[in-house]
Amino acid sequence: MKNQIRQIFHSPKFKVGFVIFAALLLLTFFYPLIVTDDPLEMVGQGNFFKPGTYISVTEAVNTDPYTLNMNTSSGRMEKNLSMEERMAMADWLGQFAGLSPKEMDVTDADGLVSLWKEHYDSSSEQKGLIAARKKYFSRLDKKITGLLEDRDILLAEKNKETGELSVKETIPSTSYVNVSDVGSRRVFILGTDNFGRDVLTELVAAIKTSLKIGFIAGLIATTIGLSLGLIAGYLGGFIDDLILFITNLFTVIPSFILLILISYSIGKNARGVMMVAIIIGLTSWTWTTRSVRSQVISLRNRDHVNLSKLSGHSLFRIILTDILPYIASYVVMALILQISSGILAEAQLSMIGLGPATTTVSTLGLMMNWAMSYSAHLNGDWWAYFPVIISIALISFSLNLMNTGLDQIFNPQLRE
Amino acid sequence: MNEEKKSKQNIACLSGTGVTKIFGMGKEKTVAVDHVDFQFREGEIVSIVGESGSGKTTLTKMLLGLISVTEGEICFQGKPRDIKGYWKKKEYWKGIQAIFQDPFSSFNVFYKIDQVLLDCIKMRGGTRLSYEKKVELMTEACSFVNLKFEELTNKYPFELSGGQMQRLMIARIFLLKPAILLADEPTSMIDACSRATILDMLLKLRDETNMTIIFITHDIGLAFYISDSIYIMEHGKFVESGPAESVILNPQAVYTKRLINDVPKIHEEWDLSTV
């Protein structure tokens, strides 16, 4: 036993899979200890805030400023001149100032603006341009002139009696605040989702729930599959035929369709996380039954089983001590695959809206469903669904890798 | 002829009439054992000889009650055998036991050797014996087959050699002391030196407990060496049977003659024409 465990940890595939899986598992344990916020607290008002650090504007204004001799206009230019405007500027410069396209670079807003300031003249003739276009360019010029000015922002206070505004403070463009001076801030490493919830915290909670669903579904499926397989394989005869018939019946009906029908028919109110896990478990036991049965059939005529019979052991004891230990490694491998497919089944079910009908708990599938129904994938809000996909992939990858590693140890024929 | 013998010797402890085993149905029907009659008397060593696939092992399993009999009747100690249900089977197996061909697959590799012997003591009703008494019994059984219990205890079956395992199987029989022992080619997986010791032990066991030994083998020379009577089996049927001397020295059936011819001889050229 000890030797076998040592052998398992010598398999590089198993090790990699185990490390990934353990890392995810530890993340779900330790992350909630560090970040104690409610994972489903709706922090943001609005959909899909970008990942980043959010600081309070009023507090930033009230924080003691530092004066830095840095040109803030270039940042402004980059931010405020759209690509379309830059293209228009480049066009104008090429047409009326006789500049070659090589001299201009639309990605460099500063350089373009300085060329513009040098050559643009609203009073020039601008042959071939309609009046509206001419006006457009003069408006653009004004905008650029405005942007180039270092304007201070005035903070005004309203007089309660007269309603008059009086200047309270002027904020020059050279004043900066240190982010760590601002007390109210929140880091959204993966932004927020459609309900304004912190995606990272929610994701960790979702991984935990999904793993739980996978474990429960896997355990149920393996328990049913194992016991039916053992009984059918060992007893044979009519009971075998009966169990095989039922198994075939369930195999012929695609279990996913069965899954959809069951979770539809039990209704929205009953469809909690636990219920979904049980449904998945109840529909995915068939192949465990079939493979356990065939393993048991090959075992039941072995001499050690016959000897055990001759020693007067009961049926239950023979199954438990002479059959089960011989297929234990196989059952563990089946369990790992069942867990992995349970997690995937939950994700699939939730994607089509038949997963746990709840907003009080998050699962990987539900997160995908929410992101999809709020068109995150169309708007480029990648942080709402991409980390979820990665997590699902990592979980099932690590479990399958562990399974392959185990397979190589317990089925030596496959070893290179 | 059978009637004559019956009157001379004591009553058969295991006999069968028209025992048949058919596997499969319809076109895939295989008749493994085809209406065989036999009478094994108490204290006798009987050999059933035949080539591979002649139905020897199937017959053994039927005699042991591990598989059902398709047709025919088996009588155990003069009465028709009744092994319906777990308790009756358990009772039956107190009287009939077996040693299998492959010692390596006869043990459950997940349990220590002690467990096998303890199970035998339990079957003989020794559950309440003190642990010291149990150890004493196990030590006695092991020394009967020239094994040291102290060296074997707490070991797993795969830590033993094939010969040791097979001797342990005989120790098991020594503890159980059944009336009938079915030995299904117990020496075929073992080297020639261990083979002789195993056979000697079986004979010693017979001398001590007056056990009936049914020896299943494909080696007709070996059968002649140890048995009182021999049954020759071909394609599920007994083609010849009788006392060892008369069958071997004066064979009637063609198949028996062929089997005898096929025994390799050291001083003569081996006749391969009959193969």
Residue A337's pLDDT band (cuts 50, 70, 90): very high
* Whether pLDDT at A287 is above 60: yes
Q: Report phi then psi at B207, rounded to 5.
A: -65, -35
Residue that has been written with the tokens 């009182």 in this structure: B228
Residue A227's pLDDT band (cuts 50, 70, 90): very high
Closest alpha carbon to B173 in B226, B125, B117? B117
Gyration radius (Cα) of chain B, Å: 19
Q: Which two tokens stand for residue B205?
A: 């066991």
Is A139 in the B-facing interface, judged by CB distances under 8 Å?
no
More confident: A209 or A266: A209
* Whether pLDDT at A30 is above 90: yes
pLDDT of residue B11: 67
Other C-beta atoms closer than 10 Å to the C-beta of B199 total 17
Is A202 in the B-facing interface, judged by CB distances under 8 Å?
no
Q: Is the ipTM of this complex over 0.90?
A: no
Residues of B in Cβ contact (< 8 Å) with A311 = 93, 116, 119-120, 123
- CB nearest B100 (choices: A307, A311, A326): A307
Q: Quick one: average pLDDT of B48-70?
A: 88
Residues of B in Cβ contact (< 8 Å) with A313 = 119
> Cβ(B166)–Cβ(B190) under 8 Å?
yes
How far apart are alpha carbons A221 and A226 in whole angstroms? Answer: 8
Tens of pLDDT along B229-271? Answer: 899 888 888 888 888 888 888 888 888 888 887 777 767 666 6
Gyration radius (Cα) of chain A, Å: 33
Is B87 in the A-facing interface, judged by CB distances under 8 Å?
no
pLDDT of residue B6: 44
To the nearest whole percent, how much of chain B has pLDDT over 70? 92
Q: Measured between CA atoms, how close is B16 to chain A, in angstroms?
A: 21
How far apart are alpha carbons A350 and B46 in whole angstroms? Answer: 71
Tens of pLDDT along B197-226? Answer: 888 888 888 888 888 999 998 888 888 888
How far apart are alpha carbons B22 and B32 in whole angstroms? Answer: 6
> Cβ(A39)–Cβ(A416) under 8 Å?
no
Contacts of A38 (CB under 8 A, 6+ apart): none
Contacts of A236 (CB under 8 A, 6+ apart): A297, A300
Angle CA A315–A321–A323, to nearest 5: 80
Burial class from Cβ neighbours inside 10 Å (0-12, 13-18, 19+) for residue A406 reads: buried
Contact between A302 and B86 using a beta-carbon 8 Å cutoff: no
Closest alpha carbon to A143 in A123, A117, A119, A124? A117
Residue B4's pLDDT band (cuts 50, 70, 90): very low
The SS3 of residue A198 is strand
Closest alpha carbon to B190 in B58, B99, B60? B99
Could you write out the three-class secondary structure of chain B? CHHHHHHHCCCEEEEEEEEEEEECCHHHCEEEEEEEEEEEECCCEEEEECCCCCCHHHHHHHHHCCCCCCEEEEEECCEECCCCCHHHHHHHHHHEEEECCCHHHHCCCCCCHHHHHHHHHHHCCCCCCCHHHHHHHHHHHHHHCCCCHHHHCCCCHHHCCHHHHHHHHHHHHHHHCCCEEEEECCCCCCCHHHHHHHHHHHHHHHHHHCCEEEEEECCHHHHHHHCCEEEEEECCEEEEEEEHHHHHHCCCCHHHHHHHHCCCCCCCCCCCCCC
Q: Which two tokens stand for residue A66?
A: 């530092």
- In angstroms, how far is the first alpha carbon of chain B from the final one? 32
> Cβ(A317)–Cβ(B123) under 8 Å?
no
Q: Measured between CA atoms, how close is B5 to chain A, in angstroms?
A: 32
Contacts of B18 (CB under 8 A, 6+ apart): B35, B36, B37, B71, B72, B73
* Whether pLDDT at B131 is above 50: yes
How far apart are alpha carbons B88 and A312 in whole angstroms? Answer: 10
Is A322 in the B-facing interface, judged by CB distances under 8 Å?
yes
Give chain B's mean pLDDT: 84
CA B147 to chain centre: 22
Q: Which two tokens stand for residue B16?
A: 């069968």
How many CB contacts within 8 angstroms connect chain A with chain B? Answer: 50
How far apart are alpha carbons B242 and B49 in whole angstroms? Answer: 12
- CB nearest A306 (choices: B100, B119, B122): B100
DSSP secondary structure string, A138-197? HHHHHHHHHHHS-PPEEEEEE-TTT--EEEEEEE-TTEE--GGG-SSEEEETT-B-TTSB
> Cβ(A127)–Cβ(A149) under 8 Å?
no
To the nearest whole percent, how much of chain B has pLDDT over 90? 4
* Whether pLDDT at B151 is above 90: no
Q: How many residues does chain A have?
A: 416
Angle CA B260–B103–A301, to nearest 5: 95
Residue A65's pLDDT band (cuts 50, 70, 90): confident
Chain A: residue nearest B97 by CA? A310
Contact between A303 and B108 using a beta-carbon 8 Å cutoff: no
Contact between A308 and B108 using a beta-carbon 8 Å cutoff: yes
Find which of A39-43, A336-340, A371-375 is predicted with most confidence, using mean pLDDT.
Answer: A336-340
Is A315 in the B-facing interface, judged by CB distances under 8 Å?
yes
Tens of pLDDT along B9-30? Answer: 556 788 888 899 988 887 888 8
* Whether pLDDT at A246 is above 50: yes
pLDDT of residue A334: 93
Closest alpha carbon to B140 in B166, B191, B175? B175
Give chain A's mean pLDDT: 87
Residues of A in Cβ contact (< 8 Å) with B102 = 303
Tens of pLDDT along A7-22? Answer: 888 888 999 999 999 9
Find which of A23-32, A36-45, A88-97 is predicted with most confidence, using mean pLDDT.
Answer: A23-32
- CB nearest B123 (choices: A312, A314, A326): A312
To the nearest whole percent, how much of chain A has pLDDT over 90? 36
Tens of pLDDT along B86-108? Answer: 888 888 888 899 998 888 888 88
Residues of A in Cβ contact (< 8 Å) with B61 = 306
How far apart are alpha carbons A407 and A413 in whole angstroms? Answer: 10
Contact between B102 and A309 using a beta-carbon 8 Å cutoff: no
* Whether pLDDT at B2 is above 60: no
Chain B: residue nearest A324 by CA? B110
- Residues 101-160, chain B, touching A (beta carbon < 8 A): 101-102, 105-111, 116, 119-120, 122-123
> Cβ(B77)–Cβ(B23) under 8 Å?
no
Mutation target vs B (from A298, A302, A304, A321; most B CBs, 10 A cutoff): A304
Contact between A325 and B86 using a beta-carbon 8 Å cutoff: no
Is A237 in the B-facing interface, judged by CB distances under 8 Å?
no
Residue A401's pLDDT band (cuts 50, 70, 90): very high
CA-CA-CA-CA torsion sign (B236, B237, B238, B239): negative
* Whether pLDDT at B117 is above 50: yes
pLDDT of residue B254: 83
Chain A: residue nearest B111 by CA? A321
> Cβ(A355)–Cβ(A276) under 8 Å?
yes
Q: Measured between CA atoms, how close is A259 to chain B, in angstroms?
A: 39
Residue that has been written with the tokens 């995150």 in this structure: A376
Chain B: residue nearest A325 by CA? B110
Q: Quick one: average pLDDT of A215-228?
A: 96
What's the CA dihedral at A251, A257, A263, A267 to 10 degrees?
-130
- CB nearest B110 (choices: A314, A315, A325): A325
Is A302 in the B-facing interface, judged by CB distances under 8 Å?
yes
Contact between B106 and A307 using a beta-carbon 8 Å cutoff: yes
Which of A93-102, B42-51, B230-239 bottoms out in mean pLDDT, i.e. has the lowest?
A93-102
How far apart are alpha carbons A225 and A234 in whole angstroms? Answer: 14
* Whether pLDDT at A91 is above 50: yes
Closest alpha carbon to A198 in A83, A409, A49? A49
pLDDT of residue A150: 66
Tens of pLDDT along A359-385? Answer: 788 899 999 999 999 988 898 899 999
pLDDT of residue A79: 79
Q: Measured between CA atoms, how close is B212 to chain A, in angstroms?
A: 17
How far apart are alpha carbons B34 and B21 in whole angstroms? Answer: 7
Q: Quick one: average pLDDT of B141-150?
A: 87
More confident: A219 or B106: A219
pLDDT of residue B5: 44
Instruction: Report DSSP state, residue A128.
Output: T
